């Protein structure tokens, strides 16, 4: 495993780059305050720009520690539409977990799977991870399609691992992964 850190990446339609301190406004407007988005992630909708700015400044500082955290930007308009990052790294087992979030007004355009595929290629080839995994709430089948389109395979289901923010109860957590040999 090589710790390359957040390197700028591109796809046909997207630029994946480091966050900068001015991104907090679009981050808040496009996904951090979006209740449709936050029902499937660990954070609640941000209350104001300041909450987003504080978190963003922490992420920017974390680049000095070799973090992997990209803002996803449309090439055509330079609008930022989401975020994809490495949530956890296991050096012992040479693997990592990725997570992503996109504003609901950008859903259904293939941006999430396009950026995930590029990040997976980077992590497996350039960073030399053996395996990359991702998880989604069972009640979010769109995230399943994102992972499958990016080449990931379903590993299994962890029963009732996450609180369901919409209904009273719990969601199963579905795990997907990909190895370097899966890319070929």
Domains in the chain (CATH in brackets) are 9-129 (3.40.630.30)
Specify the pLDDT at position 103: 95
pTM of the complete model? 0.93
CA distance 57 to 59: 5
Task: Find the helix or strand (DSSP H, E) in which 88 lies.
Answer: strand 80-90
- What are the residues whose beta carbons fall under 8 Å from the beta carbon of 65, sequence distance 6 or more? none
5-39 pLDDT, tens digit each: 999 999 999 999 999 999 999 999 999 999 888 77
Cβ atoms within 10 Å of 50's Cβ, excluding its own: 11
* Structural contact between residues 98 and 84, judged by C-beta atoms closer than 8 angstroms: yes
- CA torsion 78-83-84-87 (nearest 10°) is 150
Which ranges of the chain have pLDDT less than 50? Answer: none
Specify the pLDDT at position 165: 61
Enter the DSSP assignment of 76. T
Specify the pLDDT at position 173: 84
142-159 pLDDT, tens digit each: 999 999 999 999 999 978
């Amino acid at each position: 495993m090589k710790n390359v850190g957040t390197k700028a990446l591109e796809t046909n339609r997207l630029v994946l780059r480091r966050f900068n301190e001015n991104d907090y406004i679009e981050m808040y407007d496009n996904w951090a305050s979006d209740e449709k988005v936050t029902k499937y992630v660990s954070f609640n909708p941000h209350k104001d720009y300041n909450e987003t700015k504080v978190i963003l400044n922490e992420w920017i500082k974390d680049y000095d520690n070799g973090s992997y955290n990209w803002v996803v930007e449309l090439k055509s308009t330079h609008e930022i539409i989401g975020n994809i990052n490495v949530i956890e790294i296991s050096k012992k087992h040479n693997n990592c977990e990725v997570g992503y979030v996109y504003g609901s007004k950008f859903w259904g355009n293939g941006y999430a799977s396009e950026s995930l595929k590029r990040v997976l290629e980077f992590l497996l080839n350039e960073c030399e991870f053996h395996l990359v995994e991702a998880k989604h709430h069972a009640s979010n089948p769109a995230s399943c399609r994102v992972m499958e389109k990016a080449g990931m395979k379903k590993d299994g289901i962890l029963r009732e691992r996450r609180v369901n923010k919409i209904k009273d109860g719990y969601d199963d957590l579905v795990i997907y992964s990909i190895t370097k040999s899966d890319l070929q």
